[in-house]
Amino acid sequence: MIRPSDIEDKEFKKVAVGYSPEEVDRFLDEIYVDYEQLFRENRELKMKLNNLANSGAAQMTAPVPKVPQQTAPQMPAPQMSPQQTSQSIEKALAKTLTLAERVAEETKENARATAAQITESAVAKAEEIIGSARTRAFELEQDIHRLESRYELMKTRVKLLLYAEIELLDKNEIISEKENGYEAEEFQNPQQ
């Protein structure tokens, strides 16, 4: 059986997505207070039931203490034998105990259902985040591939441009050598 201290001391794993930890803590605090009261009442009723069972014969002979009435005078109750009184009390305690156990079970079931909802929501959110991350990763890979292709194209164009410039420079050197050669010949043979 879950004890109130189990509810109070329960720690949940922290995740990036999911329900608000403050709301969950507040709800668990409320459950803890109610469950602790039910647990205490259940224990007290069990002890009373055991005491009644153990002292059944002693109660039959013992005088019933007078309880001061705080309400309006009531009609006198029909006289019951001590055994009938004891059985009546036992039945009332059994009903109360059954009710307390049922409420405790309902509280546990509600907590389990809430935990299942939290888990389902967290799993769905995680799957959504993972899907989004995969899509983004695919887009980035496509961008990288495009940029690499563009880089290779630009590198090829720059190389071609440089080769063309080198070829042009080489042609200019050849031309200027020829021109220098003609000038040198003219300088040596000015009369021709």
Long-range contacts of 67-72 (CB under 8 A, 24+ apart): none
pTM comes to: 0.35
| pLDDT category of residue 46 using cuts at 50, 70 and 90 | confident
Assigned domain for 71 exists: no
- Which two three-digit tokens encode residue 16? 């990036």
100, 41 Cβ separation under 8 angstroms: yes
Number of domains into which the chain is organized: 1
Per the model's pLDDT, the better-predicted residue between 116 and 5 turns out to be 116
Q: What is the mean pLDDT of residues 105-112?
A: 90
Q: Is 90 exceeded by the pLDDT of residue 147? A: yes
Residue 63 resides in a domain: no
Question: Is 118 within a domain?
Answer: yes
Q: Mean of the pLDDT values across residues 93-113?
A: 88
Query: According to the model, what pLDDT value does residue 82 have?
Result: 66
**Residue 68: pLDDT over 70:** no
Structural domain including 184 reads 4-58+83-188
Asked if residue 163 belongs to a domain, the reply is yes
Q: Where are the alpha helices (DSSP H) in the chain?
A: 4-9, 21-54, 56-61, 82-188
72 lies in a domain? no
Rounded to an integer, the average pLDDT of 166-187 is 76
**Is the residue at 78 inside a domain?**
no
User: What's the chain's average pLDDT?
Assistant: 79
Residue 157 lies in a domain: yes
What are the b/e assignments for 10-33, b being 16+ CB within 10 Å?
eeeeeeeebeeeeeeeeebeebbe
pLDDT at 94 over 50: yes
Q: What is the pLDDT of residue 148?
A: 95
pLDDT at 57 over 60: no
pLDDT tens per residue across span 25-35: 788 888 888 88
For residue 66, what pLDDT is reported?
A: 53
User: Does pLDDT of 74 surpass 60?
Assistant: no
pLDDT computed for residue 72 by the predictor: 45
% the chain with pLDDT above 70: 79
Asked if residue 36 is part of any domain, the answer here is yes
CB atoms within 10 A of CB 9: 9
